[in-house]
Structure 1
């Protein structure tokens, strides 16, 4: 994940498409529910994009920092946080770089692992960063690609979103997480798998 994947950078949290908005609202409800299941109120988000999830955590009383490899996304996140009057530190950095220096009770990593060339190393980095908890999500396959095909997107790639190099069903993703974490609670907002995990 050395660069922002082509064709896969858009602000899904503020889409005008009513179906997409309904799906994203389900994602956000489940994200907030899982974040509040764990007792800590300090979090670090890797792959934070434009900062939507970090901002939601901050509004819920968390002390948050966010990191992303895309300078444009971080610039936008800083603008939005300033406009909202929130205090969140955002930095341009890759997951491996953040893992070398950042520790937090809760690590958030949503819609990132599907992009990594070495997801096992990414999971190791997340375990290194997490003092206790990980909140993580990925697209739920093959449903994700099927929904893309239904709307006529990425047909030449059988519905695969550009930049997605890893594909997990809910079962296979939870098995993947259990290599380093105990899965504490699972949500399946259409079309994602989302899990709150405790570090082993």
Structure 2
């Protein structure tokens, strides 16, 4: 795998628990987000057997996909030891690891290994790329995890709507609405262009407010 050296820094993302928010607007947004995941995956008419989520956070998306495909074997990793510990305690039928998207090295207490290339028929990377200094290297690594017919599900905040929404609710005015830790910003068009430029073929695009969500395959 054409990974970067292990000294490349992968920052931790934001772990605000929007999935269990009682705010009606946030609940509406998350319902649209999860429905878009389901619709994109079900449209493939494939029963995914080998799944990997990179930057899985609290494991909410991982768990959602497991409910859609209970027969699937799922590996999921995140750079944060804290959220992986919490995910392991809550969700028992998924293989959770501490890991780095730049190296694809994962650790589960029994040692470190590199995730296998060409193994997975679905790789998920949701709300991760905007935190990375080198998102294109991450995309290359994600692509190499997929088998020949594998799918890649990506989502990022849709700009400038994301920052406008933050400012509308009085957040992050000093940073013009930019969420702390977001160092990459894409419109729908620019994000899709980056995906295609990294030798992926876009299958479908959805825009659950306020995200861009792309289902792609190897080019």
Instruction: Provide TM-score, normalisation by structure 1.
Output: 0.92
Paired position in structure 1 for 2:109: none
Superposed counterparts of 1:32-71, under 5 Å: 32-38=38-44, 39=46, 40-61=48-69, 62-71=72-81
Does the 8 Å CA contact 2:66/2:74 hold for their aligned counterparts?
yes
Runs of 4+ displaced beyond 6 Å: none
Write out per-residue CA displacement over residues 8-49 of structure 1, whole angstroms, 9 at most, x where no aligned residue.
221111111110111011000001111223323321000101
Paired position in structure 2 for 1:143: 161
Write out per-residue CA displacement over residues 61-106 of structure 1, whole angstroms, 9 at most, x where no aligned residue.
2321110000111011111113xxxx11000001123274233111
Paired position in structure 2 for 1:162: 180
Instruction: Provide TM-score, normalisation by structure 2.
Output: 0.85
Q: Give distance in 1, aligned partners of 2:42 and 2:86.
A: 26
Q: Give distance in 1, aligned partners of 2:154 and 2:90.
A: 23
1:2 CA drift (Å):
2.6
Find 1:92's aligned residue among 98, 107, 122: 98
Paired position in structure 1 for 2:5: none
Structure 1 gaps, min length 5: none
Count of aligned residue pairs for this structure pair: 194
Structure 2 gaps, min length 5: 1-8, 106-113
Matched, 1:126 2:142: yes
DSSP 3-state at the match of 2:102: helix
Q: Give distance in 1, aligned partners of 2:153 and 2:86.
A: 23
What RMSD over aligned residues (CA atoms) do the two structures have, in Å? 1.4
DSSP 3-state at the match of 2:51: strand
Does the 8 Å CA contact 1:186/1:193 hold for their aligned counterparts?
yes
Does the 8 Å CA contact 1:50/1:77 hold for their aligned counterparts?
yes
Q: Give distance in 1, aligned partners of 2:39 and 2:73.
A: 17
More helix by share: 1
DSSP 3-state at the match of 1:10: coil
1:3 CA drift (Å):
3.2
DSSP 3-state at the match of 2:141: helix
Matched, 1:193 2:209: no
Q: Give distance in 1, aligned partners of 2:164 and 2:99.
A: 32
Q: Give distance in 1, aligned partners of 2:115 and 2:101.
A: 11
